[in-house]
Chain A
């Protein structure tokens, strides 16, 4: 009887060793490279560059906070199978690191922010700098160039197409920038006060002369919680500067913001799309829509 158990145990152990030993490579379809973008807005931007030649898949679903994302097996399969991976960089995808290490293999990684100089992150949570650079469309132009270069490297035959697509999209981004300036002009500079849920709008603020009064969660990651002192300091700052609105991302926990609103009389607007675009039926189904929507919301609230 003992022998039987030992035999089974030994067999299982041996099987495990065998499994560990053989790691056949996944079968790869010949032809066009598979492209995966980490975040939804990246996916949209990249698709604009890829045009009809490639289909860009996205890893994160819409409006999911990357910090809370738990990859499922098929997500990891997508990662394992992709030949081109597009990430934002600057530590924004730290949750992805371990998974990528586990997969091993080779892929071309396009880091959208490579070459840009980021703002330092005031909270220190992202030592490489504040990663939310896509909130300034002029930064996004750089993203587009990085993606264009990367795709051209992976698929040289399409280089011309990617260049043309990129140029067209960049023109749209420049038009977007101009449109934003016009919209923002409707709000006098002294009223351009932003209080947000966390420090994700620094680049937007710098580009269009908004003052970031403060953030409910004084860190650029949504997982941290403020201390009593920090919350009190924020309330004081709001009172002092007279900021009239607290802006939240869609789907974020409103409780703290409501608390601040009750104390200071500010309005809570929970309608921004910052970390992700919306679904196809929503108000921000593409990157450009996302920025336009956010600008309209902000300007509308502060006018």
Chain B
């Protein structure tokens, strides 16, 4: 039992655990939409595209996190705008904007003579350096996203499953889709603190992909995904403590391990699983 409690003697571990569990749940829930709507690329792109937002916030001596949120939201809405009506396909729009944003960010940063290490660390995340105020921010933003997802569950379900029915029911499909992108942007920014840019995309995809193999309906898929996200974070962090490896990577590797287990050993995996 002691091995369970020992890491908890340190405040930084407790904070890290809470933050990564919340982020794990958040990513997993939004990840459900990411996986079902084929937006995995989008999550990754958004994570990288916040770079110019952070650079500009730094130049203006503003709050880096706010800059990241604004950049992510702008990218999300731009993608929605460019791929509206199907003139440019969604993944093409993502590819273009992602590269542009990243390049803009790098150009801005290198032109700043006063380059600061803090900028790169917002990209890499530091789950072991989560302060109490960080935690409140994570909880606050996380609650906003989760509550919205719960309240708009029906609407998001219809626009994801059957766009024609959405039009028939006169749902404001465009608005809802943009709202979903904004929620995704918030989720990505919140995740940056714990697992950093490269790995936020993984936490958006892997737990949800695992849940897809285990469930047949949307609501259970979200709940199972959230559970897997939380467990991956918990176990991953403990593993990183005892094996002394980088925490963010440990979390992602745990999530991937769980996915592999399910993928290999689930009796009826795949599209046409038959449970009955």
Interface residues of A (CB under 8 A from B): 5, 8, 12, 16, 19-20, 23-27, 67, 70-74, 76-77, 80, 94-95, 98-99, 101-105, 123-125, 127, 219, 221, 223-225, 227
Contact = CB atoms under 8 A, between A and B. Distances in A.
A103 B114 contact: no
B190 to A, nearest CB: 16
Contact of B110 (A20, A80, A102, A225): A225
A2 to B, nearest CB: 9
Contact of A71 (B15, B128, B223): B128
Nearest to B10: A80
20 contacts: A16-B18, A20-B18, A23-B14, A24-B9, A25-B9, A27-B9, A67-B117, A72-B247, A73-B237, A73-B241, A74-B244, A94-B117, A102-B11, A102-B128, A102-B131, A103-B10, A123-B114, A125-B115, A125-B116, A223-B115
Given A72-B246, A102-B12, A124 B129 contact: no
B8 interface: yes
B76 interface: no
Interface stretch (B36-44, B91-99, B118-126, B163-171): B118-126
B13 interface: yes
Given A27-B9, A70-B124, A125-B116, A99 B244 contact: no
Nearest to B21: A16
A219 B126 CA distance: 25
Contacts of B237: 73
Contact of B223 (A5, A25, A223): A5
A101 B115 CA distance: 22
B248 to A, nearest CB: 8
A77 B10 contact: yes
Given A5-B223, A72-B244, A103-B12, A219 B129 contact: no
Given A73-B241, A105-B11, 10 more contacts: A19-B8, A19-B14, A24-B9, A72-B128, A72-B246, A95-B117, A98-B121, A99-B128, A125-B114, A219-B113
Nearest to B11: A23
Interface string B217-240: 000000100010010000001001
A72 B12 contact: no
B245 interface: yes
B105 to A, nearest CB: 13
A80 B227 CA distance: 31
B45 interface: no
B114 A104 contact: no
B110 A73 contact: no
A124 B113 contact: yes
Contact of A26 (B10, B110, B118, B120): B10
Contacts of A24: 8-9
Contacts of A12: 21, 230
